Structure 1
Amino acid sequence: MGAELKISADNDGRRVDRVLRTLWPQVPLGAIMKAVRTGEVRLDGKKTKADARLEEGQLLYVPWEEEAGGQKTDGGAEKTAKKPPLETLYRDDYLWVVNKPAGLLTQPDIKGGDSLITRALAELGWSRSDYRPATLQRLDRNTTGAVIIALTGAAQRHLAELIREHKIRKLYHAVVEGIAEESGRIDLPLLKDGAANTVRPDREGQPALTLYRRLSTSGMRSVVEAELVTGRPHQARVHLAAIGHPIVGDTKYGSGRGAKRPLLHARTIIFPTDAELPAGLRGSAVTAPLPADMKKYEEGA
């Protein structure tokens, strides 16, 4: 016995091994790869390869009986049903841009845990097992603002490509300690320490570029707009701290306790004039309103 899956448009063009890992996360990777090598995984009745590209309408047979989509959404939907609805900034059939509140993870850290994506799946009433909407950014728990959720596989792949090519611009607002320069460029490689969950500037790290400009000042603090040209973990926090302007409330990277959280907000997402995007998105900007704890600093900005 086994299971058979008809390839949907959401998985068209994806590799066999990646679809198998996505849809059957409970099956060990070694077992998946062995089943492909030995021909137990078959595509339209024939032996296939791990890197073969799938086409919509094909039939993919697997030797295990577990249902596709081992990460169930039902439990998450049940736990998030009474949560406040997500604030929608933009939505069509292609993507959904929401305003993430502080204190909410983008992805769950435990099975069935609360997060932006589990709340989104619950609101969508998502029951399909062959594809799950996915976020295109991963904001820190206490960072607020605009997050893109791809609603189809094609959207997810294309938006991810646009982000990799730096064609989707991401503008953040931050309240920082001190009087920042009017504008600047921070080009410092960043290295992550996974064990400590910290990031530091290091020549051995990944390239990282942040452009910033000062919007206003309030006492000995500044409001800056930071464009993350790259998207490294903790990039805005570490880069701003590295030039002597840590984000207010960011105790991990050098600020005092001037706020209950790091005052960092994903303010605006600017989409390119790309022919594959829906007409209403091309060249448009989606802006998330400022949270209450940052508004007072931006008066007059």
Structure 2
Amino acid sequence: MKEFHIAKNDSGQRLNKFLEKAVPRLPGGMMHKYCRLKRIKLNGKRAEPSCCLQEGDVLQLYINDEFFSVPDGAQAFRTIAQPRVSVLYEDENILLADKAPGMVVHTDDRGDTDTLIAHIQAHLYQSGAWDPDDELSFVPALCNRIDRGTGGIVIAAKTAEALRVLNGKIKNRELSKKYLCIVHGHPSPASGRMDGFLRKDEKLGLVTVHKTRVPGAKTAVTLYRTLAVRDGLALVECELITGRTHQIRAHMAAAGHPLLGDGKYGLNELNRKFGEKSQALYSYKLRFDFTTDSGGLAYLNGRAFTVRAVPFVQKYFPGYRIP
């Protein structure tokens, strides 16, 4: 028998959600069965998978020890001696990391455990901001993600409350995100709005842009403005009104201005001329624009954070000062 005492970071969530994280090797069907058989009890009584856990609750699990083993990669942070995290901002609730292009944010299909979240967890563990041995189900987690080849700001939540609040804010579009990119050619007009419908092919991992709605497509809106032009390239700022997969890359390519280095949506012939193999795209500015209750994160409302050094800007537009 194993006993869990529910603390603040684990309260407020459904029992089944808690068990998915605290006992990840326990299959969902078996978890429901064990609840029915009273092999999972809450405060000494039969527990329903849908019940909401409260601080101070005691959960008792009469299940085999094999279910408590840790999945491969879950402890990757413990193997990192020197975390590679460029911290843009950190407080007791959140951490803003400036992700380097080429780093994957989560373990992907390749099984890579050298991830941004692992390095963030290692940083928090080594600094004493997080002790995994004091937690039951919560681990610091990312609230947003960006592609391996894209650099820029990624938000990590250091508490369960911060994770819940920020996930809601992102869903409600109460965060403003701006990107810098370099495109081939000079957009005309120099600034504007791109509307369309984006459809993702899951097998190919490719997004197509449509002018009218097609089955499976989602609305996509991108604002853009040209900041500088040089040698057949343009430095462009994009603001995501919607946040779809590969939105900026697909939108700019559909407009006839693929991103420099983008082998998926661009032209390799043009990219080879510059020797670039990864898209010139950077999430450089984040602003918190809360319009609904933000709980303990109210102090972030109205604050903006900017990455001042973007490698491809310095390379292709030397002397340009990021706004």
Q: C-alpha displacement at 1:192, in angstroms? A: 2.0
Q: Which amino acid aligns with 2:264?
A: K
Corresponding residue SS for 1:239: helix
1:225 maps to which residue?
Answer: 237
1:114 maps onto 2:114 in alignment: yes
Corresponding residue SS for 2:56: coil
- Where does 1:27-66 land on structure 2 (aligned, <5 Å)? 27-64=26-63, 65-66=65-66
Q: Deviations over 1:187-209 (max 9, x none)?
A: 22222222222222252222322
2: CA distance between counterparts of 1:69 and 1:171?
41
Q: Indicate conservation of the 8 Å contact 1:10/1:152, yes or no.
A: yes
Which of 136, 151, 154 pairs up with 1:147?
154
1:295 maps to which residue?
Answer: 314
Q: C-alpha displacement at 1:276, in angstroms? A: 2.5
Q: Indicate conservation of the 8 Å contact 1:94/1:152, yes or no.
A: yes
1:127 maps onto 2:132 in alignment: yes
Q: Indicate conservation of the 8 Å contact 2:25/2:68, yes or no.
A: no
2:287 maps to which residue?
Answer: 270
Q: Indicate conservation of the 8 Å contact 2:263/2:277, yes or no.
A: no
CA 68–94 in structure 1, closer or farther in 2 if over 3 Å, else same: farther
CA 43–270 in structure 1, closer or farther in 2 if over 3 Å, else same: same
1:193 maps onto 2:193 in alignment: no
For structure 1, which segment, 94-103 or 26-35, has the greater mean C-alpha deviation from structure 2 after superposition? 26-35
1:246 maps to which residue?
Answer: 258
1: CA distance between counterparts of 2:98 and 2:61?
39
5+ residue gaps in structure 1?
none
1:214 maps onto 2:226 in alignment: yes
Corresponding residue SS for 2:132: coil
Q: Deviations over 1:260-290 (max 9, x none)?
A: 3100001011012565254652211111233
For structure 1, which segment, 130-139 or 178-187, has the greater mean C-alpha deviation from structure 2 after superposition? 178-187
5+ residue gaps in structure 2?
126-130
Corresponding residue SS for 2:51: coil
For structure 1, which segment, 206-215 or 64-73, has the greater mean C-alpha deviation from structure 2 after superposition? 64-73
Q: Deviations over 1:67-112 (max 9, x none)?
A: 76834778513442245x3111110010000110111100122667
CA 28–166 in structure 1, closer or farther in 2 if over 3 Å, else same: same
2:70 maps to which residue?
Answer: 70
Q: Indicate conservation of the 8 Å contact 1:41/1:48, yes or no.
A: yes
Q: C-alpha displacement at 1:53, in angstroms? A: 1.6
2:128 maps to which residue?
Answer: none
What is the number of residues matched between the two proteins? 299
Q: Indicate conservation of the 8 Å contact 1:15/1:53, yes or no.
A: yes
Q: Indicate conservation of the 8 Å contact 1:22/1:69, yes or no.
A: no
Q: Indicate conservation of the 8 Å contact 1:23/1:70, yes or no.
A: no
1:165 maps onto 2:172 in alignment: yes
Q: Deviations over 1:102-157 (max 9, x none)?
A: 11100122667100000111111242352100011111111111110000000000
- What RMSD, in angstroms, separates the aligned Cα atoms of the two structures? 2.3
What TM-score do you get using the length of structure 2 for normalisation? 0.84
Q: C-alpha displacement at 1:30, in angstroms? A: 2.0
1:10 maps to which residue?
Answer: 9
1:260 maps onto 2:277 in alignment: yes
Corresponding residue SS for 1:187: strand
CA 187–3 in structure 1, closer or farther in 2 if over 3 Å, else same: farther
1: CA distance between counterparts of 2:244 and 2:36?
36
Q: Indicate conservation of the 8 Å contact 2:15/2:50, yes or no.
A: yes
What TM-score do you get using the length of structure 1 for normalisation? 0.90
Corresponding residue SS for 2:277: coil
2: CA distance between counterparts of 1:29 and 1:218?
56
Q: Deviations over 1:135-191 (max 9, x none)?
A: 111111111111100000000000000000000111111111111132222222222
CA 111–165 in structure 1, closer or farther in 2 if over 3 Å, else same: same
